[in-house]
Structure 1
Amino acid sequence: MTHNPVESSESQRASDSSPAGELGGPDHQPRRFGFWAAYFLVVASMVGAGILTSSGFTLHDTANPAGLMVIWTLGGILALCGTVTIAELATMLPRAGSDYLFVREAFGREAGIVVGWATFVLGFAAPTAVVGRLSANYLSIPLTSHFDFGSAAAYLEPSLATLFVGVLMAIHCLGHRESSGVQVLSTLVKICLLVGLVVIGLSFGEGDWGHFAASHVPDSNEFFTLGIGLIYVSYAYTGWNAAAYVAGEVRDPERLLPKSLIAGCASVMGLYLLVNLTYVFALDPQEMTQLSIPEVIPVAQLAAKQLFGSQVADVVSILLGLGMLASVSAYMLSGPRIAFAMANDGAFPRFAAKLHDRRQTPVAAIVVQGLIAIGMVWSGPFLDILNYTAIGLAVVSGLVVASIFPLRNRANLPHPYRLPLYPLPPVLYLLLMGWIVATGLMQDVQGLQLEEPRLPTTMLSLLTILLGLPVAYFLARRKQAS
């Protein structure tokens, strides 16, 4: 990736002299990322655990291909609504911090701290653990089918995930060039694998278009089940705002940020719909209902096995496991920028605000996120971690999108980009997010009424957000006293 020092310096000075610079505070980060680095960051952040797991749950619970395609289309529309909204916010305030910065300027410093805290934990550390675990799961499928690991098999997945997080944490500490290179290369590998699964699978695979005949109009119980499926789908689309997290490091943000955000989200939506089409072509919906939940989690591996046979499926499983490292990389690149911006504002421990003297990367923040993610890797089963982060992200993203209403008419902010059809996109997004949270809480209530109660992951996720309230109060009092 090329870098023009003069252009970067001029962009930084222009940003610092703008109203956005005054609001965001000086972050002194060099603007070295261009369109493609930001675009691939969005794509890599979105294409992760969700597309490789969520469809298996829906087919298992409903055996309804049409319902599957509908919720993935609805999830894509939801993501686009959020994307155009965040594009306007990011061009108003093209600084490091994104969620924290937008909510802080819209609703006050305390609200910004709560959202920043939740974003760092639920939006980056937890998804890093989720994708790390799923990557290890896909990689371990061929290993456990050919080798007997005995009692060590239970530790194989979290051990591999820990290794992945640790290695990528070190790479992102090295510098911008290394970060961009890993991001572009790993994302290209993953996208090529999914595109190959679609093109080769639909052209030469052993599938059946007759599987779509199982489509039907859902009854009331199935509507609720599809609503739960939409929770997982909305999680699969998270990451549409990824480029905004490095807004303080993107050249010409007023022009490149909207392009990279919208292009990335639209590309992923098209890819997701094609991948789900391939899943239905490959997998008999009725047979999916006969499998256990752990068996349907690696749905892409199941589809590859049906399309190409066991040997090819093992290769695909390994390649997808490696390709998912792009998402781990994206989270390790974006998340520390939240901690960096908050630390500069006195809302996070000061060590997170320090850049490496030579490499100019937030090393301390990267290491903290990596260590939290490794802790979550060992905290429980994959599905519990996924459920824990999905609802919290819905709430946080809703608060961020709602920031557009008080900020849009601020006269002291630049407005180089205005989202189309305002206020419809943010209103639609907030309505659907509210419905998703309500569905998650209903699922928790039903789970607690079982003979063997399920862990109320939605409530735990909301509790994590609420824990930010005393933190925000303490930090606000400390800042007033200083």
Structure 2
Amino acid sequence: MMDDKAQKLNLKRDVGLVGAVSLIGGTMIGSGIFMSPQTVLSTVGSPGASLVVWACAGLLVILASFCYAELGTVIRESGGEYIYIFRTFGPIPAFMLIFSSVLFIRPAGIVGISLSFSQYVVAPFYQDCPPPVVLVKCVAAAAILTLAIVNCLNVRFAMSVQVFFMVAKVLALVVIITGGVVMLIRGHTESFEDSFENTNVGVSAIGIAFYQGLWSYDGWNNLNYVTEELKRPEVNLPRAVVIAISLVTGLYLLVNVSYLTVMTPRELMSSTAVAVTWGNKVLGSWGWIMSLAAALSAFGSLNGTFFSGGRVCFVAAREGHMPDILSMAHVHRLTPSPALIFTTMVSLIVLIPGDFQSIVNYFSFTAWFFYGITLSGLIYLKIKKPELPRPYKVPIIIPILVLIAAVFLVLAPIIDSPQIEYLYVTLFVLSGVIIYIPFIHYKVCPGLLNKVTMFLQLFLEVAPTEKNL
């Protein structure tokens, strides 16, 4: 009889350097660059300050990703922040993260992107009035379900989808940049005269502007969720991070310059779909192409979020922090289908009351709270466990600087104008402890869970997995 270890399945190492760059870049370039520029500009009040926010957000993300590259080569397991917090601070903070991530952070990210995808899909049909909310949400739900099926069927196919949409969205951004360069050459520089006039330097305003800008960069840490499926992670993880994030930061700055060249700051701030407004002014009757490009971009980003999001749930279940069924993979397709199905169901529930701007702010607030904890874990490992093998290292000053930025981002929206919603989000995160004690630590009702797990295991054709090390 075969032992348990021989019967267990492994996730395949199918993701190479091109796939890794596409996963990071393709997830980062999503809905944000087509939805956030007007909010960043209206919050900080001037074109010059908005460009500074975009550049600083890119720099912050590059520094944070260097720290994650070191963490990913020291702790060579999938799961991103969850597994790093678990290995450095123990099970309770890690469970608080996974509880928040599975029930809010990840579904909120999926819903935010699917809503922007949906708005751009229906925009050409409702040029003179806002589209019906029900229609927007139905199209968003259809996108979520389609990508859930794709990711459950085949890892390699999901990565092919990612590479295709990466190429499509980069081409769309290149069109916007080229149009902007042509307009600059023709002398359209009005937006850049006295470009820092009327800048709003309030702490809360800067924090909210960063939330909106960083939403566009979200996905920079996606590769750390799929480390076990990455070929030669010690080489490809840092390489993919540097290539993808540098490319995206450069593109974002040039796209914002193009927006400001073609539109006045007032036009940009009043636009609900900035790429469509740009397309109508530059391409005329062909403006609908930008709506299509923005929709494709969001769809590709949604696919990348799904690809990595299911893995977080999957790794947490493997560590005993979620039901066992979520740690299993399909016996033939080797995809973590139960975790993906669960993520889909929660996302569809969050979609019902979802509102794009609120989702972005609460998502960023919660995400940077946990990024801060993760970075303090790296500082702890550097000081207390310098002997651990590190194929890739960053100077300790980098995680310290990013940690200071994370603390500022969490506190900034609360300092100037506290909102009760941020208190609700904080209480939701802390409530993870209340769930942890009875259900994880003392394992209340294990018999019932075992019966449900056995039924679902047979129904979904899944089996336990073991780690790729």
TM, length-normalised to structure 2: 0.87
After TM superposition, give the deviation of residue 361 of structure 1 in Å.
0.4
In 1, are the aligned partners of 2:183 and 2:262 still within 8 Å (CA)? no
- Which one of the candidate residues 124, 148, 158 is aligned to 2:106? 124
> Aligned pair in 2 of structure 1 residues 194, 401: CA closer, same or farther (>3 Å)?
same
- Is this contact kept in 1: 2:310–2:339, CA < 8 A? yes
The Cα offsets for residues 342-377 of structure 1, whole Å up to 9 and x where unpaired, read as 111111111111100000001010011111111222
Report if aligned partners of 1:132, 1:161 keep a CA contact under 8 Å in 2. yes
Cα drift, residue 148 of structure 1 = 10
**CA distance in 2: counterparts of 1:128 and 1:332, whole angstroms:** 7
Q: Secondary structure at the match of 1:240?
A: coil
Q: How far has the Cα of 1:315 moved from its partner?
A: 2.0
The Cα shift of 1:469 comes to: 1.8
> Residue by residue, what CA displacement relative to the aligned partner does 1:56-85 show, whole Å, maximum 9, x if unpaired?
013234441110111111111110111000
> Alpha-carbon deviation of 1:407?
2.1
Distance 1:102 1:126 in 2: 22
Out of 406, 419, 426, the residue aligned to residue 462 of structure 1 is: 426
Say yes or no: does 1:136 pair with 2:118.
Answer: yes
Alignment check: 8 A CA contact 1:32 1:250 kept: yes
- 1:306-455 → structure 2 map (5 Å cutoff): 306-309=281-284, 311-408=285-382, 409-410=384-385, 413-419=388-394, 422-442=395-415, 445=418
2:278 corresponds to? 303
After superposition, the Cα gap between the structure-2 partners of 1:424 and 1:192, relative to the gap in structure 1 and judged at 3 Å, is same
2:97 aligned with 1:108: no
Residues 388 and 461 in structure 1, CA contact (< 8 A), matched pair in contact too:
yes
- Is contact 1:254–1:417 with CA below 8 Å preserved after alignment? yes
Aligned to 1:77: 59
Secondary structure, counterpart of 1:246 in structure 2:
helix
Distance 1:425 1:282, change over 3 A: same
Moved more, 354-363 or 261-270: 261-270
* Residue equivalent to 1:192: 171
Residues 226 and 186 of structure 1: CA distance in aligned 2, closer, same or farther (over 3 Å): same
CA distance, structure 1, for counterparts of residue 424 and residue 281 of structure 2: 37
Aligned 1:240-255 pairs, distance under 5 A = 240-255=220-235
Extract structure 1 runs of 4+ deviating beyond 4 A. 146-149, 204-207, 217-224, 479-482
Distance between the aligned counterparts of 1:461 and 1:51, measured in 2?
26
- For residue 276 of structure 1, what is the amino acid of its counterpart? N
RMSD, matched Cα: 2.5
2:37 aligned residue (51, 55, 62): 55
From 62, 66, 78, give the equivalent of 2:48.
66
Q: Name which of 441, 448, 454 aligns with 1:477.
A: 441
Contact map agreement 2:234 2:392 (CA 8 A) in 1: yes
Q: Is the Cα–Cα contact under 8 Å of residues 71 and 230 in structure 1 kept in the other structure?
A: yes
How far is 1:207 from its partner? 8.0
Instruction: Report deviation, 1:297.
Output: 3.6
Any unmatched runs of 5+ in structure 2?
Answer: 447-469
Change in Cα spacing, 1:94 to 1:339, as seen in structure 2 (3 Å) is same
Kept in 1: contact 2:23–2:304 (CA 8 A)? yes
Structure 1 window deviating more from structure 2 (467-476 vs 216-225): it is 216-225
Q: Residue 257 in 1 paired to residue 248 in 2?
A: no
Q: How does 1:146-225 map to 2 (within 5 A)?
A: 153-203=132-182, 208-216=188-196, 224-225=204-205
Q: Could you tell me which residue of structure 2 aligns to residue 275 of structure 1?
A: 255
Following superposition, the deviation at residue 225 of structure 1 comes to: 2.4
Aligned pair count reads 438
Q: CA deviation at 1:324?
A: 1.0
- Cα distance in 1 for partners of 2:151, 2:23 equals 13
| Partner SS for 2:235 | helix
Q: Partners in 2 of 1:270 and 1:473 — Cα distance?
A: 46
Measured after TM superposition, the shift of residue 221 of structure 1 is 5.1
Is 1:444–1:458's contact at 8 Å kept on the other side of the alignment? no
Deviates more, 1:92-101 or 1:241-250: 92-101
Alpha-carbon spacing, 1:170–1:107, altered in 2? closer, same or farther (3 Å): same
Paired AA for residue 283 in structure 2: F
Mark the CA change 1:223 to 1:355 in structure 2 (over 3 Å): closer, same or farther: closer
Deviation at 1:340, TM superposition (A): 0.9
**Judging changes above 3 Å, is the alpha-carbon distance between structure 1 residues 306 and 258 closer, same or farther for their aligned structure 2 residues?**
same
Distance, in Å, in 2 between the alignment partners of 1:304 and 1:262 is 31
- Give the deviation of 1:336 after TM superposition: 1.0
- Cα deviation, 1:4-24, whole Å, max 9, x if unaligned, reads xxxxxxxxxxxx9xxxxxxxx
Report the 3-state secondary structure (helix = DSSP H, G, I; strand = E; otherwise coil) of the residue aligned with 2:126.
Answer: helix
Q: Which amino acid aligns with 1:175?
A: N
Change (3 A) 1:465 1:207: farther
1:182 aligned counterpart, secondary structure: helix
Deviations 1:259-302 (A, max 9, x none): 1122211111111111111111111014445x3xxxx3422222
Q: Would the alpha carbon gap of residues 220 and 47 (structure 1) be closer, same or farther in structure 2, given more than 3 Å must change?
A: closer
- Specify the code of the residue in structure 2 equivalent to 1:471: I
* SS of corresponding position for 1:103: helix
Question: Where does the alignment leave 5 or more consecutive residues of structure 1 unmatched?
Answer: 1-15, 17-25, 449-455
Superposed displacement of residue 147, structure 1: 9.6
> 1:334, 1:357 → 2: CA distance?
20
TM-score, normalised via structure 1 length: 0.85
SS in structure 1 of the partner of residue 14 of structure 2: coil
Contact 2:317 2:323 in 1 (8 A): yes
- Tell me the amino acid that sits aligned with residue 237 of structure 1: Y
Q: By how many angstroms is 1:42 displaced?
A: 0.6
Q: Is the 8 A contact 1:186 1:326 kept in 2?
A: yes
Identify if the C-alpha distance between structure 1 residues 466 and 204 changes in structure 2 by more than 3 Å, giving closer, same or farther. Answer: same
Deviations 1:287-327 (A, max 9, x none): 445x3xxxx34222222222223x22222112211221011
CA distance in 1, matches of 2:141, 2:243: 32
Does the 8 Å contact 1:103/1:112 carry over to 2? yes
Name the % identity: 24
| Cα distance, 1:481–1:72 mapped onto 2, change above 3 Å | same
**Paired residues of 1:63 and 1:286 also in contact (CA < 8 A):** no
| CA–CA separation in structure 2 for the residues paired with 1:234 and 1:116 | 21
> Do the aligned partners of residues 365 and 27 (structure 1) sit closer, same or farther apart at CA in structure 2, a change above 3 Å counting?
same
